[in-house]
């Protein structure tokens, strides 16, 4: 099929070269969010446990929007098994130091007793800490706090310089190396957006929510029982109209441009420099207290929510767009994964093997720039799959035509089998091919997907979302409480915790500017 001609040519080039070894040198990282919940089932009001270290400076254990929304960050790892082991170690350590609380096993939160029941994350008294908290206060005022405590898993992926160097030669490309790598990553990002609906179809795990999440608002969702809303064929309400993805950018009037790295950086910088009337009405500093960092479309670039981000590691107080401009794209972050309640890690090996195949497929597949109509179709497809993904006969938009989700998904997965075989050869295993085969089964048997399995279990046990999620959370709690961590690893995490606390104190003692000056300085940096 002509749609995949370039993919097949590039696969043939790779297969005929000695690049396979370089394919096994990619790096994988995971970020996993989990709500801390009291044993009674409400969002924890207790501070981030001191035994975990400082949320400001700890490289692996921090917080997201709320003090109760724990975020675990693995270092970049060499393989799928290594990254799962790393996440397992971090979770084992935090469970060892968690009293009278559990970590919530699902993306959608537990009982939300109004906005004030969701505490903002706190990071100490330094200017950097205050900036993080004010940013979160602004998010709460702009979009509501409940939406900000939806948890997810982020999959970070990078190809090695060794791979890029080989690949550039294979393509007979003579561009500057950094420009070549960034261009290739931007093409990968565009394809992740194009085919991104496949992720919630296969791995979405939020087809139901606790009624308290909507706080009495009108909804298109159906009633599952007296405590739960759901949609019969939903995959990921987290990515739907009630969750993260769409309303924010429509309201703010911002759309990132993925045509090139320069275009992306420019669209981000435009958003952080353009005022917004609605946010101006909130006020910035009112009665001596900062309500938000500023009244721009985005307070800072991180506020832009997208299912995929091109990333570069920031240095010090550097803005993400400045880092990208200076050093190019270093890795890609896929943000559309729900927490998988069926696995104590929140994600399983099979998913990760498939995602690695998906990354390489999206790199090798042709990736023209996105037209306005294609961007609209991408948003519509994602929304349809989030709300109705398992509906028999569901059609999506591809180019000018409608195509059934099942036909398109099976076509994509079948094309991925050759990519999987290449990765299997590079890694001396069969895990990649078998992960794609498992997902092909889910395409033809939607009842195998996590979203369908969750609803089936809820029906079988005659339980609403809250009781289902609580049961799974307690099950994972038990799993980790019975899980041993070697003395070396305990020592390693205890050292990280104490070093991070000392680092926080040092940052606090070295602050010389007022907070007003600090903000002015940050926003005036190019």
Q: What is the pLDDT of residue 412?
A: 98
The encoded tokens of residue 283 equal 């006020």
pTM over cut 0.75: yes
Q: What is the pLDDT of residue 253?
A: 61
Per-residue pLDDT tens over the stretch 93-141: 999 999 999 999 999 998 888 888 999 999 999 999 999 999 999 999 9
CB within 8 Å of 254: residues ≥ 6 apart: 267, 270, 271, 297, 298, 304
Q: How many domains does the chain have?
A: 1
Measured CA to CA, the distance from residue 5 to residue 22 in angstroms comes to: 23
Residue 513 lies in a domain: no
288: left (phi over 0), alpha (psi -120 to 50) or beta: left
Residue 447 lies in a domain: yes
Measured CA to CA, the distance from residue 389 to residue 412 in angstroms comes to: 16
Residue 246 lies in a domain: yes
Q: What is the pLDDT of residue 246?
A: 40
Determine the structural domain holding residue 297 and report its residue range: 2-487
* CATH number, domain containing residue 170: 3.30.590.20
Per-residue pLDDT tens over the stretch 339-367: 999 999 999 999 999 999 999 999 999 99
Residue 291 lies in a domain: yes
Residue 430 lies in a domain: yes
Residue 506 lies in a domain: no
CB within 8 Å of 428: residues ≥ 6 apart: none
Residues of the chain under the 70 pLDDT cut: 1, 243-253
Residue 445 lies in a domain: yes
Task: Please report, for residues 254, 255, 261, 274, 303, the alpha-carbon distance to residue 266 in angstroms, rounded to integers and kept in the order given.
Answer: 12, 11, 9, 12, 16
Other CB atoms within a 10 A radius of the CB of residue 290 amount to: 20
Decide: residue 200, CB within 10 A, 0-12 exposed, 13-18 middle, 19+ buried: buried
DSSP letter, residue 354: H
């Amino acid at each position: 099929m002509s749609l995949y001609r370039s993919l097949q040519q590039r696969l043939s080039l790779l297969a005929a070269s000695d690049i396979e070894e370089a394919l096994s040198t990619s790096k994988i990282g995971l970020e996993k969010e989990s709500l801390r919940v009291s044993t009674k089932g409400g969002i924890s009001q207790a501070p981030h446990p001191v035994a975990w270290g400082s949320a400001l400076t700890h490289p692996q254990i921090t917080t997201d929007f709320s003090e109760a929304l724990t975020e675990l960050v693995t270092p970049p790892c060499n393989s799928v098994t290594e990254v799962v082991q790393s996440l397992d170690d971090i979770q084992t350590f935090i469970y060892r130091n968690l009293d009278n609380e559990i970590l919530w096993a699902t993306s959608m939160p537990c009982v939300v007793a109004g906005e004030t029941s969701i505490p903002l994350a706190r990071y100490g008294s330094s200017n950097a800490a205050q900036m993080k908290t004010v940013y979160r206060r602004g998010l709460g005022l702009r979009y509501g706090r409940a939406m900000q405590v939806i948890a997810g898993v982020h999959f970070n992926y990078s190809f090695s310089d060794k791979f890029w160097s080989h690949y550039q030669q294979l393509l007979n490309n003579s561009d500057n190396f950094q420009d070549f790598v960034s261009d290739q990553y931007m093409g990968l990002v565009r394809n992740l957006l194009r085919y991104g609906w496949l992720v919630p179809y296969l791995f979405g795990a939020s087809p139901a929510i606790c009624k308290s999440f909507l706080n009495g608002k009108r909804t298109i969702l159906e009633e599952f029982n007296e405590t739960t809303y759901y949609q019969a064929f939903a995959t990921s309400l987290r990515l739907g109209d009630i969750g993260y993805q769409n309303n924010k950018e429509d309201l703010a009037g911002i759309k990132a441009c993925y045509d090139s790295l320069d275009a992306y950086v420019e669209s981000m910088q435009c958003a952080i420099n353009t005022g917004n009337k609605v946010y101006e009405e909130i006020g910035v500093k009112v009665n001596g207290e900062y309500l938000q960092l500023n009244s721009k479309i985005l307070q800072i670039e991180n506020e832009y929510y997208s299912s995929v981000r091109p990333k570069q590691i920031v240095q010090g107080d550097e803005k993400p767009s400045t880092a990208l401009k200076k050093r190019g794209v270093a890795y890609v972050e896929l943000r559309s994964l729900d927490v998988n309640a069926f696995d104590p890690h929140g994600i399983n090996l099979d998913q990760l093997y498939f995602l690695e195949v998906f990354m390489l497929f999206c790199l090798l597949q042709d990736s023209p720039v996105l037209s306005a109509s294609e961007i609209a179709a991408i948003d519509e497809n994602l929304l349809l799959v989030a709300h109705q993904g398992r509906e028999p006969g569901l059609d999506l938009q591809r180019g000018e035509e409608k195509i059934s989700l099942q036909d398109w998904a099976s076509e994509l997965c079948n094309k991925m089998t050759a990519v999987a075989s290449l990765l299997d050869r590079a890694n001396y295993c069969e895990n990649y091919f078998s992960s794609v085969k498992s997902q092909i089964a889910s395409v033809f048997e939607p009842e195998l997907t996590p979203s369908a399995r969750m609803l089936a279990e809820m029906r079988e046990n005659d339980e609403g979302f809250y009781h289902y999620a609580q049961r799974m959370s307690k099950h994972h709690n038990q799993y980790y409480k019975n899980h041993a961590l070697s003395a070396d690893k305990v020592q390693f995490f205890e050292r990280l915790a104490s070093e991070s606390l000392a680092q926080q104190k040092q940052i606090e003692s070295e602050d010389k500017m007022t907070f007003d000056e600090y903000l002015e300085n940050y926003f005036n940096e190019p």
